[in-house]
Structure 1
Amino acid sequence: MSKGQPIKIATRQFTKKGDAVAFFRAMLNRYKPGERVSDEDGKDLAALLRRHPDAEDKIGPGINHFEVMSADYNTQCFWVVRSDETIERFSFVACLGAESRDG
């Protein structure tokens, strides 16, 4: 049986990728589309977003806050609201699949 690869971000450490996916999926499901993510959850999301393969483009001029909004196929996802008021959606799964960058 293979052992899972640990996942580390600046705010948390997970024993394996599946634990991190479950954590962020539960966080996503705590919110309804249109809701602003709490500042506490936002700290974890900011650390996670730094692991995204396109982190620099996603973060842009800086992070103001995060929201949950509707996405394709009747789903929802996290969106970063940047300091210049522009928004960008991102996949938490893509962030967890990125090469290890301590976020």
Structure 2
Amino acid sequence: MPAKPLSIGSLHFAKKGDAAAFLQAMLHRYDVGDKVGAADEQILRHALALHPEADVKVGCGITHFSVRSADFGTKCFWINRPDGTTEKFSYKACITG
């Protein structure tokens, strides 16, 4: 099966695995509890738009992204909304759709 290219905003990847590696490296640059920086936030907004449940995940909007604990001792990106609620999301789901 040939590799499937993927674009996340202005970033273009030759295959989905390259996009996954990029987002995983981004996640691991942050510690649990960190707020995601402005440049990475823009990339995450574009990635989140590819998520199959993007509308539900975004809800009433996004104030910022953070990195927090997830299931089984892992960490993941979280959406922080204007109403104070939060929602975790998987960057892998953004890539695989």
**Which TM bucket (shorter chain)?**
over 0.9
* Paired positions, count: 97
1:11 paired residue number: 10
Aligned-pair CA distance for 1:3: 2.7
In structure 2, the residue matched to 1:55 is: 54
Indicate if the aligned counterparts of 1:28 and 1:77 stay in contact, CA closer than 8 A.
yes
For the residue of structure 2 that corresponds to 1:63, the secondary structure is coil
**Is contact 1:4–1:16 with CA below 8 Å preserved after alignment?**
yes
Per the normalisation by structure 1, the TM-score is 0.90
What 5-or-longer segments of structure 2 have no aligned partner? none
Which runs of no fewer than 5 residues in structure 1 stay unpaired? 99-103
Cα contact 1:11–1:43 (8 A) shared by 2: no
Aligned equivalents of 1:73 and 1:96: distance in 2?
A: 22
Matched with 1:71 is 70
**What is the identity percentage for the equivalent residue pairs of Structure 1 and Structure 2?**
46
Residue number in structure 2 paired with 1:95: 94
Worse-superposed segment, 34-43 or 82-91: 82-91
Say which SS state the counterpart of residue 53 (structure 1) adopts.
coil
**What TM-score do you get using the length of structure 2 for normalisation?**
0.95
